[in-house]
C-alpha cells in the first residue's frame, strides 16, 4: 500500500454540511443504515471522529463517515469538523482510506467486502488490486475468492439484503448471480420468506430453472405459478410446511410421471394396512427390481403376529398390483 505520510490529508477543519454532496456514494463501503443511538451519541457527546471527505469540483465528497454525516444532517447541524483531502488526491488513495477506515474498525460483511474489492479494483493502477494492499486491508487475497465476491455488490438489492440477513448463503448468492436480475430477485424474495436450508434452496432453484428451460419460459413465470402463491399465502402454514409443499409442487411439475407413480404406490400401500411394525419400500425411483420389507418386533408373540400378517399379505391383490404395476407407474391404482 502506497504511504503518503499523511501529506494528502489536511488537519480537521470545519466545513458546512451543505458543501457535502449527500448523493455521492462513490466511496461508500458500509451497508449499515440509520442508527438512532449514533444520533443520541452525537447529541450528548459530540462528533469524536471527524468524517473524511475529499474536495471535488462542486463541493465535498464523503470518503468515510457516511452515517456520521447523515446523522449530523438529521440533527440539523450546519457545520461539522472534517478531515479534508485535497482535490489532487488520487481516487485510489481515497478508496484505500475508505476501505481502511471501515475494515480496520470492524469486520466487513460480505457485501461490504464486495464493495471494497470492487472500489479498489475500479481505481487501482492498471485496474488490478495489488495483493499486498488487499492483505493489508484484511481483504481476501485469493484471486478465485475475490472474483466470486466482487459481483455480490452488483446483484439486485433483494439478493444483497438476503445475504446480509443470512437467509441466502454466499454459495447460493453466487448461483443467483448467474441469473437474470429479475429471476435472482424473485428467488431471493422467496428464500427470505421461507428461511430454508441451502440444500433445499438449491433443489428449488434447480427445479425452477429446469422447468423454465424445458417449457421455454422465464423462471419468474414458474415462480409466479398461482399454486405456489397460494401456498405462500396460506397463513395457517408454518415456513417448513410451506417449503415442503412448494418443493412438492415443483417436483410434480418437473417429474409428473414419477410423482404420480409415487402417489399411486403410497395409495396402494395404505390399502395393505401394514401397521407400525411392517415397512414396505419400493426400489429407488422404481428403477431396480427389488422391494424391501422390514419388520420390527420386541418378542416372539409380535413376530408370530407379523408372520400371520405376512401370510395374509402374500395373497393380497394390492400387493400383487404393487409388485407388477411398477412398469406402468401403477396405472389404475386407487386415487391417492
Does the protein bind another protein through residue 289 (CB under 8 A)?
yes
Instruction: Annotate 77-130 with three-state secondary structure.
Output: CCEEEEEEECCCCCHHHHHHHHHHHHHCCCCCCHHHHHHHHHHHHHHCHHHCCC
- Report the distance separating Cα 266 and Cα 322, nearest Å: 10
The conformation of residue 56, written as its DSSP 8-state character, comes to E
Q: How far is the CB of 239 from another protein (least distance, A)?
A: 29
Among 42-50, 150-158, 273-281, 322-330, the segment contacting another protein (CB under 8 A): 322-330
Among 56, 258, 272, 274, binds another protein (CB under 8 A): 258
DSSP string, 250-307: HHHHHSHHHHHHHHHHHHHHHHT---TTEEEEPPGGG-SS--EEEE--SSHHHHHHHH
Does the protein bind another protein through residue 310 (CB under 8 A)?
no
Among 256, 275, 334, 336, binds another protein (CB under 8 A): 256
- Closer Cβ to another protein, 197 or 206, answer by number: 206
Burial of 197 (0-12, 13-18, 19+ CB in 10 A): exposed
Among 67, 115, 150, 326, binds another protein (CB under 8 A): 326
Q: How far is the CB of 240 from another protein (least distance, A)?
A: 26
Q: How far is the CB of 222 from another protein (least distance, A)?
A: 12
Q: How far is the CB of 321 from another protein (least distance, A)?
A: 14
Does the protein bind another protein through residue 27 (CB under 8 A)?
no
Does the protein bind another protein through residue 327 (CB under 8 A)?
yes
- Report the distance separating Cα 235 and Cα 233, nearest Å: 6
Q: Which residues contact another protein (rule: CB under 8 A)?
A: 210-211, 213-214, 216, 254-258, 261, 284-289, 326-329
Amino acid at each position: 500500500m502506497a504511504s503518503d505520510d499523511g501529506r494528502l490529508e489536511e488537519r480537521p477543519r470545519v466545513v458546512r454540511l451543505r458543501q457535502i454532496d449527500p448523493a455521492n456514494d462513490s466511496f461508500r463501503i458500509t451497508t449499515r443504515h440509520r442508527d438512532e443511538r449514533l444520533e443520541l451519541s452525537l447529541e450528548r457527546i459530540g462528533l469524536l471522529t471527524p468524517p473524511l471527505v475529499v474536495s471535488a469540483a462542486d463541493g465535498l465528497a464523503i470518503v468515510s463517515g457516511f452515517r456520521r454525516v447523515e446523522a449530523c444532517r438529521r440533527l440539523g447541524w450546519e457545520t461539522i469538523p472534517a478531515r479534508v483531502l485535497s482535490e489532487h488526491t488520487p481516487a485510489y488513495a481515497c478508496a484505500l482510506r475508505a476501505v481502511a477506515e471501515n475494515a480496520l474498525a470492524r469486520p466487513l460483511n460480505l457485501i461490504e467486502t464486495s464493495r471494497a474489492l470492487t472500489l479498489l479494483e475500479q481505481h487501482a493502477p492498471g485496474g488490478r488490486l495489488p495483493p499486498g494492499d488487499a492483505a493489508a486491508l484484511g481483504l481476501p487475497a485469493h484471486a478465485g475468492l475475490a472474483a466470486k465476491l466482487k459481483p455480490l455488490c452488483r446483484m439486485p438489492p433483494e439478493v444483497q439484503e438476503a445475504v446480509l440477513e443470512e437467509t441466502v448463503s454466499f454459495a447460493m448468492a453466487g448461483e443467483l448471480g448467474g441469473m437474470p436480475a429479475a429471476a435472482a430477485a424473485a428467488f431471493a424474495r422467496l428464500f427470505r420468506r421461507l428461511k430454508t436450508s441451502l440444500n433445499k434452496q438449491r433443489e428449488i432453484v434447480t427445479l425452477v430453472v429446469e422447468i423454465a428451460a424445458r417449457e421455454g419460459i422465464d423462471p419468474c413465470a414458474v415462480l409466479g405459478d398461482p399454486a405456489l402463491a397460494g401456498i405462500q399465502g396460506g397463513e395457517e402454514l408454518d415456513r417448513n410446511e410451506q417449503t415442503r409443499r412448494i418443493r412438492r409442487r415443483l417436483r410434480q411439475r418437473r417429474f409428473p410421471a414419477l410423482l404420480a407413480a409415487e402417489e399411486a404406490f403410497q395409495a396402494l400401500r395404505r390399502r395393505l394396512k401394514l401397521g407400525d411394525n411392517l415397512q414396505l419400500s419400493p426400489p429407488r425411483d422404481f428403477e431396480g427390481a427389488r422391494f424391501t420389507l422390514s419388520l420390527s418386533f420386541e418378542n416372539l408373540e409380535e413376530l408370530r403376529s407379523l408372520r400371520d400378517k405376512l401370510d395374509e399379505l402374500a395373497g393380497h391383490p394390492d400387493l400383487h398390483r404393487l409388485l407388477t404395476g411398477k412398469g406402468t407407474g401403477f396405472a389404475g391404482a386407487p386415487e391417492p
